Chains A and B, each alone.
Chain A
Amino acid sequence: MMNEFIYSFQLKNVYRTNSFLYYLKRFPLIKRVIPNDVYAKKGLKTFAKCLSFLYEFVTLFIWKLLYLYLIFMLPSMIMETSVDPTISFHIFFFMTLIGGLLNTSILNPTKDKYYAICLMRMDAKKIALSEFLYFQFKNFIGMAIAAYLIQLFIPLDLISCLSLSILVVACKFIFGALLLKKSQKKVYNENKGDILKLALCLLFLGAAFVPLFFSMYMSMSLYYILCGIMIIFGLLAFGYLYKFDGYTAIYRELLKPENIIFNVTQVQKQGNKVFTDKIEYEHITTSKKGYAYLNYLFVQRHKRLLTKTANRIALGSLAVIALLIVGVAAVEPIRAGINEYLISFLPYSLFLMYLINRGESITKAMFINCDNAMLHYHFYRQPSAILGMFKQRLQSLILINLRPAGVIALGLTILLAVSGGSANLSDYVILPVTILCLSVFFSVHYLVLYYLLQPFNSEVEMKNPFYQVMTALTYFICYGFMQRIDSHYFGAWVIGLTIVYIILALFLTYHLAPKRFRLK
C-alpha cells in the first residue's frame, strides 16, 4: 500500500506543480518573464514544487485554525465577556458530526483518484485507503497545530486539545465506514446532496445551537464520554474499512467522468448550460425589425430571467408595503417607527436597489445565449450594430428594472404620507426620484460595464479581471453606504451623480464600445 501511496502522492505533486506553473504563466506582468518551455525548466519546477509543499503545509491547519477561532474565541468577543469554553466543546462536537457526514473523502470522486485508478490502473482498495489515511493524518496534525495555536490565547489542557483531533478523525472513520456500507446497495457520491444528508445536518446544527438559547449544553464529562464512544466506534470502523473488499466495484461507478470536475472550463460549461436552459420557447409574432426585433425576441425568450423575476420582485415589494401600510394604520408605535425610518432610509436604498438589479446575470445571459455567437459575424461587430443593439437593450433593461423600482418608489412615498408625513415637502420628491434614479443607474452601469469591458472569451472564460474588480467595487460601495447619512444630502447627491454618471457612461460607450465590444 505504501507504494500506491507514494505513486499517488507523486502524481498529485506533479499535477499541483504544473498547475502552479500554468497559473503563473497566465498572471499579468509575471507571464512576460516566464519562458514558453516553463515545464521543462528544472529550476522553476523546483521553485514551484517548494511553493506547492508550502501550500500543502499552510492549508493543513489554516482553515482549521479559523474554524477553532470562530468556535472558541468569537462567542466571548461577541458577548464581550468570557464564555464558558464548555459551550465551545458542545458546538464543536456537533459541528464535527456535520463535517464527518459532509466530507469523509473516501467517497469523493476526485480527479486524483480517477487518474490513479482509471488511467494508471492502480489498485482501487490500496489507493482508497492510502488517500483516506493520508487525509485523516492531515486532519489529525492540522487540528493539533490549530489547537496548539488556539490554546496560546485561551486556557485549554492537553487532553481537551487532543480530543479535538481524535474526535474529528474518529468521526470521519465512522461516517466513512457507514457510507461505504451504504454504497454497496447504491453508490453514494459525497459531492451530491440528498434529503437524508440535509436532514441530518439540520438536526446536528440544531443540536449544536438551539440548546444554547436555553442555556443548555453538554458538560465536559459527557463530552469526554461521547468522545470515548466515538473512539471505540472509530476503531471498529477502521477495521471495517480495512477489511472491506468492494472498493473496485464502488469506484467503477463513482469515478465516471460525469461525476468528476476535471477543470474550470467544465464548471463553466455547466454554468453556461444553466443560461441556455433559461431560454423558453413560445411562438412570437411581431412587426419589429432589425435590432429591435432581435432584442424583442431575446426579452420574450428570457422572460423567467427578465420580466417574470422583475414582476415577482415588484409584487413582493407591493405585498410588503401593503402590510406596512396596514401596520402603520393599526399600531401607533409602528407608525412612528416607520416614519422616522423612512426619512433616514435613502442611504439603504442604494444597497436595496443593488440587490434587486440583476444586471450582472442578465448581461451574462446576453453573452452566452446571443453575443457569443453573433460576435462571430462581421455585420454584428460594426459600430452601428453594436450601438443599435446597446440602445435597444438599455431601453428594455431600464423599463424592466423600473417595474419593481416604481412600486417601491411609489409605495414608500405613500407610506411616508400615511405614517405621519414629513415636515419637509421635498422628501416627497427626493424619496421616489432617488429610487428611480438608482434603478436607472444600475441598469446603465451593468450594461456599460459589459459593453466597455466585455470580459468573456468564446469559451465564456472571464478574461478581463478589471470587470470583476469593477463589479466587486460596486458591491462594496453600495454596502458602504448602509449607514445613517442625512437623507436630503444623500438624495440630492445621488440624483446629481447618477445623472452625471449616466451621461458620462453613455458618452464613453458610444465612443469606445465599437472598438472594445469584441470576443476576447
Chain B
Amino acid sequence: MKLKLEGIQKSFDSKEVLKNITFEFEEGKIYGLLGRNGAGKTTLFNCISEDIPYDKGEMKIIENDQERKLTTDDIGYVYSTPQVPDFLTGREFLNFFIDINRSKISDLKSIDDYFNLVGIDPEDRDRLLKDYSHGMKNKMMMLVHIIFNPKILLLDEPLTSFDVVAAAQMKQLLKDISGKHILIFSTHIMELALDLCDEIVLLTHGELERIERDGEDRDTFEEKIISRLKGEDDE
C-alpha cells in the first residue's frame, strides 16, 4: 500500500505554504517529517487529514496496483495538543469510541487490554479526562487511533509531552504497528527522528524532499539534514 500525493498546493491569503507537494509514502515505514518553524508541516497534516481543504492536487491510495481516492477512514491524526472530551472518564471515552466505530474495528480487544497497551494505570482508568496530565491525554488520543487502526497515521510532535519511560514505550509501540501502516511523524527533535524513523523527509520551500542516507554515520547524516534545512535561509 502507498499514499501518493500529487501536486498539493495550499495558500493562506497571498502566502503560498504548500507549493507543490509530490511524494509517495510506503507501507511498513516510519517517515520523519522535518522542517523549520512555519515551514507548513501542520498545514500538510491538516490537508492530508481533510481538516482543511487544499487548493490543488490529488491524494490517492495505491493498493494491489489499484489507485483509489484517499478517504477519511484511511487517516488517523494525532494532534500535538491532545483533544479529548473533559467530561468523560478514560474508560467511558473508549467505550463510546468503540461503540460508535464497532463495525470498522477489526480484532477488538477488551478496554483494559487497550489501557495496558499504552500503560495507563488501573487507578487512572475511571478518572475524568479533564484531570489527566498532558501526556496521559496524548496517550488516550493515540490509543483511539490504534484501536481504529487506520492505514496512515499522522503524528504531530506526539512524544514531546511524555516522560522518558512513556516515550520509550510509545516509540516501541509505534515500531510494532509500523509494519502494516504508513506512519508520518513530525518533530523538531533530530535525535527522535533519527532513532525512530526509517526515512527522513524535509519540508522546505513548500515541497517535500527525501534525504537519502548514503552509508553516512549518524553525525554526518545529521549535519547533512541541518545544512539542507539551513539552506532555506541562505537562499
Contacts and interface: CB of A to CB of B under 8 A. Distances in A.
Contacts of A291: 100
Given A378-B73, A378-B75, A302 B13 contact: no
A279 B79 contact: no
B99 A293 contact: yes
B83 A36 contact: no
A301 B83 contact: no
Interface string A455-469: 000000000000000
Nearest to B89: A281
Interface string A364-404: 00000110111011110000010000000000000000000
B87 A36 contact: no
Interface string B49-93: 110000000000000000000001101010100011111100010
Contacts of B14: 36
B130 to A, nearest CB: 6
A459 to B, nearest CB: 11
Interface in A269-317: 276, 279, 281, 283-284, 289-291, 293-294, 297-298, 301-302
Contacts of A283: 126
B137 to A, nearest CB: 9
B100 A276 contact: no
Contacts of B127: 281
B184 to A, nearest CB: 17
Q: Most chain-A CB neighbours within 10 Å: which of B99, B100, B127?
A: B100
A97 to B, nearest CB: 44
Given A293-B99, A369-B85, A370-B85, A36 B13 contact: yes
Contacts of A279: 86-87, 128, 130
Contacts of A370: 85-87
Nearest to B150: A378
Contact of B86 (A36, A276, A284): A276
Given A279-B87, A279-B130, A297-B88, A376 B79 contact: yes
B72 A378 contact: yes
Contacts of A377: 83, 144
Contacts of B50: 378
Contacts of A298: 87
A293 B77 CA distance: 25
Given A36-B13, A374-B85, A290 B100 contact: yes
B83 A373 contact: yes
A201 B53 CA distance: 56
A370 B79 CA distance: 17
B227 interface: no
Interface string A346-375: 000000000000000000000001101110
B95 A301 contact: no
A301 B99 contact: no
A294 B129 CA distance: 14
B15 interface: yes
**From DSSP, what is the main secondary structure of chain A's interface residues?**
helix
B86 A293 contact: no
A239 to B, nearest CB: 53
B86 A369 contact: yes
Interface residues of A, number: 25
A373 B99 contact: no
Contact of A281 (B75, B84, B128): B128
Contacts of A379: 100-101
A31 B79 CA distance: 30
A303 to B, nearest CB: 11
A506 to B, nearest CB: 23
Nearest to B49: A378
A373 B88 CA distance: 11
Nearest to B128: A281
Contact of B15 (A36, A373, A378): A36
A302 B128 CA distance: 13
A31 B111 CA distance: 50
A275 to B, nearest CB: 9
Interface string A226-269: 00000000000000000000000000000000000000000000
Contacts of A290: 96, 99-100
A376 B128 contact: no
Contacts of B79: 376
Nearest to B86: A369
Nearest to A284: B92
Nearest to B144: A377
B83 A297 contact: no
Contacts of B49: 378
A482 B127 CA distance: 48
A279 B132 CA distance: 14
Contact of A294 (B13, B83, B96, B128): B96
Interface string B90-114: 0010011001110000000000000
B141 to A, nearest CB: 8
Contact of A302 (B77, B87, B126): B87
A33 to B, nearest CB: 12
Nearest to B126: A283
Contacts of B100: 290-291, 379, 385
Q: Most chain-B CB neighbours within 10 Å: which of A281, A291, A372, A385?
A: A281
Contacts of B92: 284, 297
Q: Most chain-B CB neighbours within 10 Å: which of A297, A301, A373?
A: A373
B96 A293 contact: yes
Interface string B24-50: 000000000000000000000000011
Identify the 5 closest CB pairs spanning chains A and B, nearest first.
A376-B83, A373-B83, A378-B72, A301-B87, A279-B87
14 contacts: A36-B14, A279-B128, A279-B130, A283-B126, A290-B96, A290-B99, A294-B96, A297-B88, A297-B92, A301-B88, A370-B85, A370-B87, A376-B77, A378-B72
Interface of B: 13-15, 49-50, 72-73, 75, 77, 79, 83-88, 92, 95-96, 99-101, 126-128, 130, 144
Given A36-B14, A279-B130, A378-B72, 14 more contacts: A36-B15, A279-B87, A289-B99, A293-B95, A297-B92, A301-B87, A301-B128, A302-B87, A369-B85, A373-B83, A373-B84, A376-B83, A378-B50, A378-B73
